[in-house]
Structure 1
């Protein structure tokens, strides 16, 4: 098999984005654009991947890590100039090089493979990925001769009025014979309106040298979208959203309203899970089978067991077990561990806490920095008082404890196994196992107090 290489162009700042975040790092469905591209490129088994970096170089390298080698384009002088920066890594090697822009997050490995296969079958030395555009404004045009062969690519700003009527556009993705590519790059001129070194000029150079230049027209124009501004970013987001949702639905997940359900590219969802409208599932969330999530629920970086129901709630960076019920209006904050068969009810906040099997906090409670055992009942309004203004402390509640309503547990404190806490208590000392702890003032009724008060007034 022919060696395959890839060059990803990711050096531009993206001024039209009007952002301090570099263009290729803007997320689409929770993943930076350039990461989408790299993930798809890896699927076509390239031997070497080189990312051309410039603006935001360190951030791009931090995002992609060791899956790519890098070449720095210190001054952005055009796409041909950008590819030339990879010469120290790729020049002279035998094989085919795929060149693709880092701001095309919708392109798939399937389309890349079709392009590469077409290139190899045609015996071409350069192949252009093209598409038919209803509105080709801004795109380079593919100019063909009477036989249908590619004559040249003309950038929109350099095109004549007649050439601008052409609707077959250059997507900015190419295959080249690697050795011929770097030889031709040395002959690219910047004599054009922009004064830049255009990569499409390599096509004309190779054609004039007598090499076969081909084009593969993808039927999927949406894949070729280049994101240059926030409007295009929103188009990419919508297209990716529907693509991801379709993938999950075809794998056995019910999504009631795909247009109002937002699932990140890295999420995993088990069969027969139902996702209701207004739900946002982001980051590397894993949801097991037979769950029900939503409506209007936000899940981020969580691992959720089977048959769990989460309604109108928020959960971040936590593990949630099987047969758990959460919500409505609950908040599971980071580093929480919710074991099986737990009930977290309305207006309950869990933060950095372990909640044991079968335990309940049904309403209006804050459980933070706590270890809650199995079969514990946390009464309405229970609060673990974990912060003294400088440090946070642990509340430990052992198995089978019953905490009455409106109780304050002032950490650090341990409630022993099977203990009872009387409603309205403020506990600031350890409670032994099976004890009843009452920590509240004795009730005193002042007879006829109101009448006496009224007389004074």
Structure 2
């Protein structure tokens, strides 16, 4: 049976105290609504519908990478009203799964379980039993245990409020019945809204089978109404991610102190120390070691590489058995070949560092092609920017650059050359040459020291 999946994302979320839509707030570095859309998109042959309202243009633009049918719900009047706006676009012989843009941790496996029970005469509800069901709609069953209705908290009797099985809001209904149920909804309730949950009683009256499915855990169906709940889901997602990493062979020295804000692919016997942040997509090969307080974003790190504390790596490729840090910064476009070394307080950008080359400390290397076995002394910089344009520096294999040197690009230092410490190089250094470019030292007697004014 074909699937329509409707994601409700029209609410304002006033309790977030935010200038932008609630569903755009992030969990694990990804907006809540994008997480739900990605899960929905994992269902084969599903047609996605995104219902927007408050700041709908921003939400629509934010989600444009997903091929979703965008439906507007101005002046929203409840979940039933939202589905009625989508009704004309639903497939005639399919079923509609309703999800929520502020319930970001719903799992594909749970949705697949619901879909497996769906028929033209079956409505599938996702329910959960809570120790404290306050605020949730209660699942009402008859003496035979069959679901007969869902009663919202504000409309529930004292007896109904004692029910612990609650509605998660996620349901799967056959479209051949759903269209008629939506037309028959009314807003005769305490909120004056059209409740989607009212179709449960209609389904029972029409003899439609109502079956229930439970999620794996409560966090999977937890919604976000304020920043406290958002933070709680962030911690839960990080906990789940840490467990998955450890189960797949990664050692976390403190599982409660890691943040994955995107996707982390980690090989076997990787060791990650405390307070590390991973953004975007990060790939770590086997036996990588990462020290404390490191920040890696959109990068790959080869096997056996050691990244020492307080290192930042952004949009870069790191080879095998490299040695990086502490306090190093690899900016976008950096490529390190195998066994390269980047030491403390070194910054690179758009730099290709050859195999076994070393930039040990206190240097800036930008817009540079560096060969194998190069040694760059402390305090060396490539002067790649003339105030308007960037220029390239080329350093051949086996070059030795003395400390406190400046290479003014565009410039080429050929294979085997040596640059004397303290030199400012402005023209080509040929193969195996020694270049020294510094003024002759002059000493003056009785030099009057400056005084403080």
Report the TM-score when normalising by structure 1: 0.92
In the TM superposition, 1:148-297 aligns within 5 A as 148-297=145-294
Alignment of 1:85-164 (within 5 A): 85-91=85-91, 93-120=92-119, 125-164=122-161
- Deviation track 1:53-78 (CA, whole Å, cap 9, x = no partner) reads 23343444443524433222233221
Cα distance in 2, alignment partners of residues 272 and 67 from structure 1: 39
Equivalent residue number for residue 440 of structure 1: 438
Measured after TM superposition, the shift of residue 234 of structure 1 is 0.9
Q: Which residue of 1 aligns with 2:347?
A: 349
Whether 1:387 and 2:385 are equivalent positions in the alignment is yes
Write the distance in 2 (CA, Å) between the matches of 1:306 and 1:233: 36
> 1:144–1:406: structure 2 CA closer, same or farther, 3 Å change rule?
same
Partner of 1:74: 74
Give the CA deviation at 1:434: 1.5
SS in 2 for 1:9: strand
**Aligned partners of 1:234 and 1:75: how far apart in 2?**
29
Unaligned ranges ≥5, structure 1: none
Partner of 2:406: 408
Shift of 1:263: 1.9
Which residue number corresponds to residue 51 of structure 2?
A: 52
- Partner of 1:176, secondary structure, is strand
Structure 2 spans left out of the alignment, 5+ residues: none
Q: What is the aligned-residue RMSD (CA, Å)?
A: 2.1
C-alpha distance in 2, partners of 1:6/1:302? 34
**CA apart distance, 1:265:** 4.1
- 1:35–1:64 Cα contact (<8 Å) kept: no
Tell whether the 8 Å contact from 1:279 to 1:296 is kept in structure 2 after alignment. yes
CA contact (8 A) 2:110 2:216 kept: no
Give yes or no for contact 1:244–1:265 (8 Å, CA) kept in 2.
Answer: no
Q: Which moved more, 1:57-66 or 1:126-135?
A: 57-66
Partner of 1:25: 24
Aligned counterparts of 2:244 and 2:193: Cα–Cα separation in 1: 41
Change (3 A) 1:451 1:224: closer
Q: How far does the alpha carbon of each residue in 1:145-175 deviate from its partner, in whole angstroms, 9 at most, with x for none?
A: 3332223212222223333232211111001
| In structure 2, distance between residues paired with 1:23 and 1:451 | 67
Q: Is the 8 A contact 2:40 2:46 kept in 1?
A: no
Q: Which stretch has the larger CA shift, 13-22 or 420-429?
A: 13-22
Q: Is the 8 A contact 2:37 2:66 kept in 1?
A: no
TM-score normalised over the length of structure 2: 0.93
The more displaced of 201-210 and 289-298 is 201-210
Aligned-pair distance for 1:320? 1.2
CA contact (8 A) 2:262 2:278 kept: no
Does the aligned pair in 2 maintain the 1:5–1:46 contact within 8 Å? no
Aligned to 2:9: 10
Aligned equivalent of 1:397, options 391, 395, 398: 395
Deviation digits for residues 307-331 of structure 1 (CA, Å, limit 9, x no counterpart): 1111220111111111111111101
SS of residue matched to 2:373: coil
Equivalent-residue separation in structure 2 for 1:421 and 1:373 (angstroms): 15
